[in-house]
Structure 1
Amino acid sequence: MAENQSIVVWSKQGCSYCNEVKTYLEEKGLSYQTIDVTENDDRRDILEAKYGVRHVPVVEIGQGNAYEAVTEVGIQHLEKVLAND
């Protein structure tokens, strides 16, 4: 992954899949920001507008206005995108 890229994890409290993603990123030494959608349906509306999903986790990886989103659940999907960067 390029040094100047950022990672944003859209998640909610109590989500085991979200925690799995965060733990994976931490184990790989990758910094990330979290956007918590718990009790924030307007944030889910943003996900729906951008990616056609309302579920979490969604992981955005990129820079500037060029982000690739991982909307599928499962670490293997995240690994695939990280390997391409």
Structure 2
Amino acid sequence: MSKEQSVIVWSKEGCHYCAEVKGFLDENQIVYQTVDVTHHDDRRDILEAKYGVRHVPVVEIGENHVYKGITKVGLQYVQEELAAVKK
């Protein structure tokens, strides 16, 4: 990933899928920020406004403040988008 790329993981405590995504990013040395929605319904409201979902994980990948949100649950969707970004 280029230096301008950034990754944001929207997650909550106790979420197995969230931990799986973060583990994958850690293993591949991909730096990311976390937005924890555990006790913050207002943050879920943001997800709903941006992507029409209230569930996590949501992974945002982008640059220059323009992000694509991966809302489908499953590590393969994150892997596919990261592979597309590297091209």
Q: Same fold (TM over 0.5)?
A: yes
TM-score by length of 2: 0.94
The answer to whether the aligner puts 1:58 opposite 2:58 as a matched pair is: yes
Task: Measure the CA separation in 2 of the matches of 1:12 and 1:64.
Answer: 26
Name the Cα RMSD after superposition.
0.7
CA apart distance, 1:65:
2.6
- Matching residue of 1:74: 74
Matches within 5 A, 1:1-85: 1-85=1-85
Task: Measure the CA separation in 2 of the matches of 1:50 and 1:18.
Answer: 19
Task: Give the letter for the 2:59 counterpart.
Answer: V
Task: Give the letter for the 1:48 counterpart.
Answer: E
SS in 2 for 1:19: helix
Task: Give the letter for the 2:80 counterpart.
Answer: K
TM-score by length of 1: 0.96
Q: Which runs of 5+ in 1 are unaligned?
A: none
Task: Measure the CA separation in 1 of the matches of 2:78 and 2:84.
Answer: 10
Q: Which runs of 5+ in 2 are unaligned?
A: none
Task: Measure the CA separation in 1 of the matches of 2:3 and 2:75.
Answer: 21
Task: Measure the CA separation in 2 of the matches of 1:66 and 1:33.
Answer: 15
SS in 2 for 1:59: strand
Report how many aligned residue pairs link the two structures.
85
SS in 1 for 2:72: coil
- Runs of 4+ deviating beyond 3 Å: none
Task: Measure the CA separation in 2 of the matches of 1:7 and 1:48.
Answer: 19
